[in-house]
Structure 1
Amino acid sequence: MLDHGGNLDDAVRRYGRPREAWLDLSTGINPHSYPVPALAADVWHRLPETDVLLLQAAEKYYGASPLLAVAGTQAAIQALPRLRGPSRVTVPSIAYAEHAHHWKQNGHTVRELPYAELASVVDDCDVMVVCNPNNPTGESVAPAILRDWAKRLAARGGWLIVDEAFGDVTPELSIAALTASAASAEFPGLIVLRSIGKFFGLAGLRLGFVAAEADLLARLRDMLGPWTVSGPAQQIGTAALTDTAWQSQMCDRLREEGARLHALLASHGIAANGCALYQYWPEKHAADFADRMARHGIWIRQFTHGVRLGLPPDEAGWQRLQHALADWQSSQGNA
């Protein structure tokens, strides 16, 4: 399996610091989780039929219909390559690595290109994957461009897969509504992935949605099998998706905190990019930076091409990060 953030047990084993002493910034998950409501007594007893209320809430929130509820978008990422014959697939060279991994595993020819070069190969592939905004770099593609790509791919029986897992705070980027029944005839190969885990801070729930034409969703549903989303996840997801007051307040809060993280990094000489939930930069000394942070009890996401930091959960975490960044900046000045 590929490495991912959230692997705090690795930090504990490597550095010998107890789990509760770590500040985990290794994911882009909202540290201010949606408050889980009380659950119905029978939710633990009954087999989890797909809740109509959940789908109605999701359709209203995402502006898309039909939708398929899945056990996190990872389930769809793993299954979709199995629904096509051998295809030429283009994915961003720096993006959520599970996309390229599973297309390769299922016998497809995968080409990985920078975001700036994706437009040049739309007519030379069968499937294109775009993360919008991108994890980890924060890069994005305008909806009008994605509409054009979707039409061109669909004309040849191709797919455009848009992973909007981090799209809640930038709804203006979403093209999920283009999968709605009224528009699906124009965009038959458009597939949009949405996640409850990131914005709502409920990654442990394992709940996401796939928006696409009905026939493709039926094939995906048959492949994934019955009872893929637990009853508790469905009840909590319904509450989160319908709580518009919480959503509005959290969007404002995350925009402010995302700007604060960007400014904090800049004040220590780091030119980063990202979205409201994380910041990334192509750090040349990524391993040294990660080690320096870890010695301050801060666990971050390290890549071969850079590093990514999520948001601290409280003021103590912000001060701790500021102190660690000052130490890093000092070490670089003395190097």
Structure 2
Amino acid sequence: MNMVATADPFRFHGGRLAVAAARFETAPTPWIDLSTGISPWSYPLPDDDPSLARCLPEPEHLGRLEVAAARTFGVADPAEVVAVPGSDIAIRLLGALLPVARSAMLTPIYSGHRAAWPDAVAIADADADAVDHDLFILANPNNPDGRTVAPERLREIRGQVIVDEAFADTDPAVSLLPDRGAAIVLRSFGKFFGLAGLRLGFVIADISVARRLRALLGDWPVSGFAMATGLAAYQDQQWQDNQRRRLRDAASRLDELLTESGLELVGGTSLFRLITHDKARELFEYLGQSGILVRPFAENERQLRFGLPAHEAAWDRLTDALKNWRQDS
């Protein structure tokens, strides 16, 4: 099946399993979703508490969550940490809060940033001084190639800087925090903790920006359930350390499988791997027919992103599908 990049929903976001099931009607189930950079292993949800759904969230609970997040990020003043219902909405709100005439972004980059700043000049490296801009946006580590820019280099960039650190929990050493200067930093909760549906993230910014953002978000920016889960997760350092080791091991295993399958690794983080191949489009289709969803890209039809299989049965199905694809191609 020919794919038109501008109309293909799989090329702009991961997920979309319902669309995949409709497109690949004869694919075996259950589907294996490797199209996102979300951990397949989730932080255990707190004990069921009906009050979390019945009652409005308490401001004190939100405050405790932001304090716990600030400690995890190394931020001294929790007032600079704003809980948001997912970092994607924070990107869009910042686009409205910070309208500038001249902006630039380091590409490739998550599509939400392009939507928030559609007029931003796209540049291909971190030499932002070569671009006449007032605002510079980048993801660090980047999605989908895992590119990182050293924190000390980021501190040298002039103008307002927004750094999307959605994948920084896998390697805190790459974070601009706690010494962010005047930069605005975005952090995701759902990817590392494997709870993307919880819709929780954070913006770390100067007090003036934090206040304006809180005013836009209103009195109940995140659910009581998200607050309780986030608070427990950020206080559980042992789980976080174990998660990083588990992700690194799984990513190394995925590297070996993809390389043995004749696919060239060109980047990634411990939550996903990016490959390139002349027949990437055909491979996407083949895996889809096998009930395995990976992520293609509008910008480069030779690239695919693979997330981590959750269990041995998923590893076996991916291994068999790649082996059969090589034989058939």
> Please, what TM-score do these two structures have when normalized by structure 1?
0.88
- How far off is 1:37 after superposition? 1.3
Aligned partners of 2:130, 2:204: CA distance in 1, in Å? 21
- In structure 1, the residue matched to 2:136 is 128
How far residue 42 of structure 1 moved from its aligned partner, in angstroms, is: 2.1
Residue 287 of structure 1 pairs with residue 298 of structure 2? no
Tell me the distance in 2 between the aligned counterparts of 1:75 and 1:133. Answer: 19
**C-alpha contact (below 8 Å) 1:271/1:281 kept by paired residues:** yes
Report the CA distance between 1:312 and its aligned residue: 0.2
Give the CA deviation at 1:118: 3.0
- Matched to 1:119, the amino acid is D
Aligned pairs for 1:173-184 within 5 A: 173-179=174-180
Amino acid at match of 2:177: A
Alignment partner, residue 48 of structure 1? 57
Q: Which residue of 2 aligns with 1:93?
A: 107
In structure 2, the CA distance between the partners of 1:19 and 1:164, relative to structure 1 (3 Å rule), is: farther
Which of 241, 248, 251 does residue 244 from structure 2 map onto?
251
Decide whether the 8 Å contact of 2:28 with 2:290 is kept in 1.
no
2:260 aligned with 1:267, yes or no?
A: yes
User: Residues of 2 paired with 1:18 and 1:286: CA distance?
Assistant: 19
Structure 2: distance between partners of 1:260 and 1:55: 35
Asked if the contact 1:12/1:19 (under 8 Å) is kept, the reply is no
Contact 2:68 2:231 in 1 (8 A): yes
CA distance in 2, matches of 1:19, 1:53: 45
Does the residue aligned with 1:309 lie in a helix, a strand or coil? strand
- Which structure 1 residue ranges, 4+ long, deviate > 6 Å from structure 2? none
Is 1:217 aligned to 2:216, yes or no? Answer: no
Show structure 1 runs of 5+ residues with no match. Answer: 154-158, 180-186
8 Å CA contact retained: 2:264, 2:277: no
Quick one: structure 1 residues 17 and 70, their matched pair in 2 at CA, closer, same or farther if it must change by over 3 Å?
farther
**Equivalent residue, structure 2, for 1:199:** 192
Partner of 2:5: none
Deviation at 1:143, TM superposition (A): 1.0
State yes or no: 1:172 paired with 2:165: no
Q: Report what 1:16 is aligned to.
A: 25
Opposite residue 294 of structure 2, the aligned amino acid is I
Give the distance between the partners of 1:276 and 1:60, measured in 2 at CA: 23
Amino acid of the residue matched to residue 190 of structure 2? G
Cα distance change, pair 102–32 in 1 and its aligned pair in 2 (3 A): same
CA deviation map 1:151-209 (0-9, x unaligned): x22xxxxx111111111111000012124xxxxxxx22x01000110000000000000
**Deviation larger for 305-314 or 2-11:** 2-11
Q: State the partner residue of 1:76.
A: 90
Question: Partners of 1:148 and 1:255 in 2: how far apart?
Answer: 30
1:97-108 to 2 correspondences below 5 Å: 97-104=111-118
Task: Please say if residues 65 and 230 of structure 2, whose CA atoms lie closer than 8 Å, have aligned partners that are also in contact.
Answer: yes
Describe the shift of the 1:298–1:85 C-alpha distance in structure 2 as closer, same or farther (beyond 3 A): closer
Q: Is the 8 A contact 1:100 1:110 kept in 2?
A: yes
Identity %: 39
Cα distance in 2 for partners of 1:284, 1:128 equals: 33
How many residue pairs get aligned? The number is: 311
Match of 2:146 in 1: 138
In the alignment, the residues of structure 2 paired with residue 28 and residue 238 of structure 1 have an alpha-carbon distance, to the nearest angstrom, of 22
1:91, distance to aligned residue in structure 2 (A): 1.6
**Cα displacement string for residues 99-128 of structure 1 (whole angstroms, at most 9, x for unaligned residues):** 011112xxxx311122xx331546521111
The answer to whether the Cα contact below 8 Å between 2:29 and 2:291 also exists between their aligned partners in 1 is no
Q: 1:200 to 1:17 in 2, by over 3 A?
A: farther
Contact 1:286-1:303 at 8 Å conserved across structures: no
1:133-163, Cα deviation, whole Å (9 max, x unpaired): 11111111111111111xx22xxxxx11111
Unpaired segments ≥5 residues, structure 2:
1-8
2:325 pairs with 1:328: yes
Q: Which residue of 2 aligns with 1:110?
A: 120
Aligned amino acid, residue 280 of structure 2: A
Residue in 2 that maps onto 1:160:
161
Amino acid at match of 1:164: E
Shift of 1:20: 4.6
User: Is the alpha carbon distance of 1:33 and 1:160 closer, same or farther for their aligned partners in structure 2, counting shifts above 3 Å?
Assistant: same
Deviations 1:237-283 (A, max 9, x none): 11111111111111111011111111211111212121101001233
